Amino acid sequence: MTATSTSRSANQMWGGRFAEGPNAIMQAINASIGFDKRLYAQDIAGSRAHAAMLAATGILTNKDAEAIGEGLLTVLSEIEAGNFQFRVELEDIHLNVESRLTEIVGEAGKRLHTARSRNDQVAVDFRLWVRDQCDAAVAGLTALMQAFVAQAEAGADWVMPGFTHLQTAQPVTWGHHMMAYVEMFARDRSRFEDARRRMNECPLGAAALAGTGFPIDRHMTAQALGFDRPTANSLDSVSDRDFALEFLAASSICAMHLSRFAEELVIWSSAQFRFVRLSDKWTTGSSIMPQKKNPDAAELLRAKIGRILGATVALFTVMKGLPLTYSKDMQEDKEQVFDAADTLMLGLAAMTGMVADMTANRAQLAAAASSGFSTATDLADWLVRELGLPFREAHHVTGRLVAMAEAKGCDLPDLSLAEMQTAYPGIRDDVFGVLGVENSIRSRMSYGGTAPDQVRAQVARWKALLV
């Protein structure tokens, strides 16, 4: 295409205000079709709803509306078949679709843009796309939570060490640890559901910024596109990107949770821990060390938070200084969201696969649960409960016994009663009943505790909720 024909084509879209088209550099910085073509399905759905409404309100003839509706379906089929030629000189998905529609149906295609602007058009397209991504995230999180529940059910009574500061703290169960992530990802799921509810208002019909003088029916287009209602302020309608920011914020928190469990998998699968074995599907070897089995999928997931959080910061930065209403800066919203959504869905799918395939080393978990004086708190609690010591005094007595066991190179249950009585004469023989890890976990029957019966109750609850 010659420079003259490019200019003429562009001017046909912009109107008669411009005598010349953009130069190559301006065209490159201005065009968004390279990425916003991902909105083609939403753009066509919004245009079909708009055309039907224009006919219902008498703004378009039924004949024109029918031609537009059929023509848009033809455009959709061409794009999905890979036969559509996206043109940079037409800037964006809206003008590319409208131009091709006009080639197909003639003059009727030029009437489609009546009573709307690209400002409200992109707002509805993008909102529809983000709404779909919220639904996809909810589905992905549900599958991940089900994988964690299955692990928890299998190991509801398997003992393992619980950690604070990555130091052995108290014994817990494998099932309890798995269910902690169910709760975590449930909050993520609720954030996406909540964001979806809040974004489910339709900006179509706000036009450029002030609404329109045509007798449109915004409730009709909102209903046709699955929205709860139209947006209530035309200025806010075209300038709002809160829905994208909320999606990114929820994605960032979710990615952080994925990263936390990925970190645990990296640690747990190491030769030093041997808590879990990751399947060959999610690990790689070394080019030089034949013994290596690297948890690369977990390590990559641990890093993905950077991309998603970066997208969140980028869009906040774009939006923070914009006056009402639309500014071209807002064209920089989509690439960030597209990349974050792709990264999140890939991460959810990969983590679901790793959790479903991983095998816990029950014997190693149990051996580690008994190390590091993990039942010291149980001993302190026993001193309070059975001997009536104030907790601070019980804490000091237990500390002396831990130091004694450490000096001898043994664990608390290996101390004799006589040795224990040197720290506090009132200690009785039945103290040994609380020092085993199995006794410890069974005693944690408070709601939300690590006792196997509590874990099984939470598993049952979540299995019913995740159906």
Cβ burial of 17 (10 Å; 0-12, 13-18, 19+) is exposed
CB 340 within 8 A of CB 251: yes
Side-chain half-sphere CA neighbours of 61 within 13 A: 6
Question: Which residue carries 């999180």 as its tokens?
Answer: 141
Q: Kindly write down the DSSP assignment for every residue of 248-310, as one continuous string.
A: HHHHHHHHHHHHHHHHHHHHHTSTTT--EE--GGG-B--SS-TT--B-HHHHHHHHHHHHHHH
218 closest CA partner among 209, 227, 111:
227
CA pair distance 124, 146, nearest whole angstrom: 33
Cβ neighbourhood burial of 371 (10 Å; 0-12, 13-18, 19+): exposed
Inter-axis angle of helices 174-199 and 118-154, nearest 10: 160
- 336/329 Cα distance (integer angstroms): 13
Residues 6+ apart with CB under 8 A from 329: 318, 319, 322
State the Cα–Cα distance between residues 467 and 463, nearest whole angstrom. Answer: 6
DSSP 213-248: SS---HHHHHHHTT-SEE-S-HHHHHH--HHHHHHH
Q: Return the residue matching tokens 């409208």.
A: 98
Is 396 part of the annotated catalytic residue set?
Answer: no
The residue to which tokens 């001898």 are assigned: 408
How long a stretch of residues is the chain? 467
Backbone angles phi, psi at 148, to 5 degrees: -65, -40
Annotated catalytic residue, options 165, 287, 416, 446 = 165
Q: Are 53 and 221 contacting, i.e. CB atoms less than 8 angstroms apart?
A: yes
Distance CA 207, CA 218 (A): 11
The amino acid at 73: L
Which is the catalytic residue, given 77, 190, 279, 286?
Answer: 286
Q: Which residues contact 264 (CB under 8 A, 6 or more apart)?
A: none
**35/43 Cα distance (integer angstroms):** 14
Any catalytic annotation for residue 165? yes
Active site residues: 165, 286
